[in-house]
């Protein structure tokens, strides 16, 4: 589950008195609990990001403020606040909070919760049922929820990292308010980290973090606050252990008189009166703690353009291994996968085109996976597209063809459309000669016939020049035959 965004610790007071309970999800985290658990938001104001859902008067804010009751489908990446929002909705309704994970629960468990919720409802108490990873429920399991959701026996709050339009049955989807959460921005992640460093629930200012280290923590988070806090905690633990060893006077072999360390008048004592500085976490500490080297990549700087350029040029040069290296650098640095997908789609037409028409389809499919599934799974589709494009035959024929055509248009070669090609579907068209003499290609046994299509000034101009690479090896001869038939023996054909 989204551990960072579990419900607020401790019992939650219900509007009518008493408390809302929910087992481990609502228990108070111990001081030894993971940093991500200790720093989970305890109120609406502590939620970072998702302002598109939490604006004044928004459906989610009304739910959390207790001014409405509806089942909700929360769709978004990990670490963005799905479980916290479920708990806040539970608090607002004063209901009992029950949680199931689709990874371990079956129809039996679902029906057991519904039976308990039905008995509670007799006593006037609502049950909020939170189901994590609801997309993993089978159709039968999802169908088991329909009656309870329809009759508000339970207030369902379901969380999923996959598009519910494709993973949740339509009847359940129609009974729920679907809200899409977004990956946290770099600024959001930085706010989460800064709060964790200073907050008494977190590191309580027990460490200092350099700007470079903080930048790296933000980069490796990939929009996931829980991942960022886990990396911060690992870095802090490493720094604190190292600091403790440095402070142990018994470990100093150069200390000729260990008793000097107990002398409160010793002005050179580093540890006098507990005034020692907090350990500092730098980028090396972060790299060592999370076992990931800092990627020299700035999404807003020169490295962004340099790595992107190298990525595309490696694909164009058919070096699949170099292309995969640069793809990995972008992924690890937290580059927006939609940006990568866009570059692949552009490249498929720009440098491959008709030499392998399937390249564009592969790139578009990868972009759809990015949109419908998201990271980290979408990186496999991006990798597949990168491999396809890098190993495909190359041709700049598409770019050259449209470039030459545009150049002629810009040069003023935009003669009148031949009369037989003009629209003839309006009154008086034939009186103007429009459409008269047009020959319908499908009336010919070969499906192609001699007829002028371009303006007079462009008859015989060849814009598209297929190469001998890949699929264009077959297109070339066929195109030659088509041109000779269409232009006829009297064509003023000329090569550009």
Q: What is the pLDDT of residues 29-79, one digit of tens each?
A: 677 788 888 888 877 778 888 878 777 777 777 776 655 567 888 888 777
Per-domain residue ranges of the chain: 3-180, 183-247+278-294, 302-391, 415-487
Look up tokens 């507990």; give the residue.
274
Paired with 156 in beta bridges are: 129
Give CA–CA dist 3/24, Å, rounded: 11
Check residues 297 and 111 and name the one with the higher pLDDT: 111
Q: What is the pLDDT of residues 483-496, one digit of tens each?
A: 888 888 444 444 44
Lowest mean pLDDT: which of 122-131, 294-303, 334-343? 294-303
Q: What is the mean pLDDT of residues 229-247?
A: 74
Q: What is the mean pLDDT of residues 83-92?
A: 72
Task: Give pTM, 2 decimals.
Answer: 0.52
Architecture of domain 415-487: Orthogonal Bundle (1.10)
Helix axes 211-221, 283-290, angle to 10 degrees: 30
Q: What is the pLDDT of residues 89-103, one digit of tens each?
A: 766 666 677 888 777
Cβ atoms of residues 116 and 143 within 8 Å: no
The percentage of residues in the chain with a pLDDT greater than 70, rounded to a whole number, is 80
Confidence of residue 15 (pLDDT cuts 50, 70, 90): very low
Q: What is the pLDDT of residue 387?
A: 94
Lowest mean pLDDT: which of 83-87, 138-142, 186-190, 409-413? 83-87
- Would you say the CATH fold of 415-487 matches that of 183-247+278-294? no
DSSP 136-195: GS-HHHHHTTHHHHHTTSEEEEEEESS-HHHHS-HHHHHTSEEEE--PPPHHHHHHHHHH
Q: What is the mean pLDDT of residues 216-230?
A: 84
Domain 302-391 adopts which CATH fold?
Zinc Finger, Delta Prime; domain 3 (1.20.272)
Kindly tell me if the per-residue pLDDT of 271 is higher than 60. no
Q: What is the pLDDT of residue 394?
A: 92
Look up tokens 């049922």; give the residue.
129
Look up tokens 């207030």; give the residue.
155
3-state class of 276 per DSSP? coil
Q: What is the pLDDT of residue 94?
A: 64
Give CA–CA dist 165/423, Å, rounded: 42
Q: What is the pLDDT of residues 303-351, one digit of tens each?
A: 667 788 889 999 998 988 989 998 998 888 778 888 899 999 999 999 9
Q: Which CATH superfamily is domain 3-180 in?
A: P-loop containing nucleotide triphosphate hydrolases (3.40.50.300)
Helix axes 225-247, 186-198, angle to 10 degrees: 40
The percentage of residues in the chain with a pLDDT greater than 90, rounded to a whole number, is 14
Q: What is the pLDDT of residue 294?
A: 57
The conformational region for residue 359 under phi > 0 = left, psi -120 to 50 = alpha, else beta, is alpha
3-state class of 209 per DSSP? strand
Kindly tell me if the per-residue pLDDT of 456 is higher than 70. yes
Provide the mean pLDDT of the chain.
Answer: 77
Domain 183-247+278-294 adopts which CATH fold?
Helicase, Ruva Protein; domain 3 (1.10.8)
Residue 90 CA from chain centroid, whole number = 28
Confidence of residue 273 (pLDDT cuts 50, 70, 90): very low
Helix axes 225-247, 211-221, angle to 10 degrees: 140
Kindly tell me if the per-residue pLDDT of 276 is higher than 70. no
Q: 126 φ, ψ to 5°?
A: -80, 145
């Amino acid at each position: 589950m989204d551990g960072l965004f579990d419900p607020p610790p401790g019992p939650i007071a219900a509007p009518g008195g008493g408390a809302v309970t929910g087992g481990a999800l609502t228990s108070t985290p111990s001081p030894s609990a993971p940093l991500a658990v200790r720093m989970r938001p305890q109120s609406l104001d502590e939620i970072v990001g998702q302002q598109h859902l939490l604006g004044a008067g928004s459906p989610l804010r009304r739910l959390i403020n207790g001014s409405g009751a509806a089942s909700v489908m929360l769709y978004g990446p990990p670490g963005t606040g799905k479980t916290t929002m479920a708990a806040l909705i539970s608090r607002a309704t004063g209901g009992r909070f029950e949680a199931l994970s689709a990874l371990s629960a079956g129809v039996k468990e679902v029906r057991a919760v519904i039976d308990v919720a039905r008995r509670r409802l007799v006593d006037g108490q609502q049950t909020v049922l939170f189901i994590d990873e609801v997309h993993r429920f089978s159709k039968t399991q999802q169908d088991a929820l329909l009656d309870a959701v329809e009759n508000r026996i339970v207030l369902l709050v379901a969380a999923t990292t996959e598009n519910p339009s494709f993973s949740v049955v339509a009847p359940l989807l129609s009974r729920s308010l679907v809200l899409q959460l977004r990956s946290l921005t770099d600024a959001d992640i930085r706010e989460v980290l800064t709060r964790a460093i200073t907050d008494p629930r977190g590191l309580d200012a027990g460490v200092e973090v350099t700007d470079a280290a903080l930048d790296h923590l933000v980069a490796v988070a990939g929009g996931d606050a829980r991942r960022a806090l886990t990396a911060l905690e690992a870095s802090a633990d490493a720094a604190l252990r190292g600091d403790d060893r440095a402070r142990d006077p018994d470990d100093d072999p150069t200390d000729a008189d260990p008793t000097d360390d107990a002398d409160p008048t010793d002005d050179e004592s580093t540890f006098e009166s507990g005034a020692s500085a907090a350990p500092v976490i730098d980028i090396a500490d972060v790299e060592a703690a999370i076992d990931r080297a800092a990627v020299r990549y700035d999404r807003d700087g020169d490295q962004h353009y340099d790595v992107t350029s190298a990525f595309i040029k490696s694909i164009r040069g058919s070096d699949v291994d170099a292309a995969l290296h640069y793809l990995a650098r972008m992924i690890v640095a937290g580059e927006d996968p939609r940006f990568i997908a866009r570059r692949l789609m552009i490249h498929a037409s720009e440098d491959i085109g008709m030499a392998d028409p399937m390249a564009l389809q592969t790139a578009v499919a990868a972009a759809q996976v990015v949109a419908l599934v998201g990271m980290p799974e979408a990186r496999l589709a991006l990798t597949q597209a990168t491999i396809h494009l890098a190993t495909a035959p190359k041709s700049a024929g598409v770019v050259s063809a449209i470039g030459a055509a545009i150049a002629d248009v810009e040069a003023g070669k935009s003669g009148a459309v031949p009369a037989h090609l003009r629209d003839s579907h309006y009154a008086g068209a034939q009186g103007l000669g429009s459409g008269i003499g047009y020959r319908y290609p499908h009336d010919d046994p070969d499906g192609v016939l001699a007829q002028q299509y371009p303006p007079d000034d462009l008859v015989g101009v060849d814009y598209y020049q297929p190469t001998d690479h890949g699929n264009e090896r077959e297109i070339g001869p066929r195109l030659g035959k088509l041109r000779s038939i269409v232009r006829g023996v009297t064509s003023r054909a000329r090569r550009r």
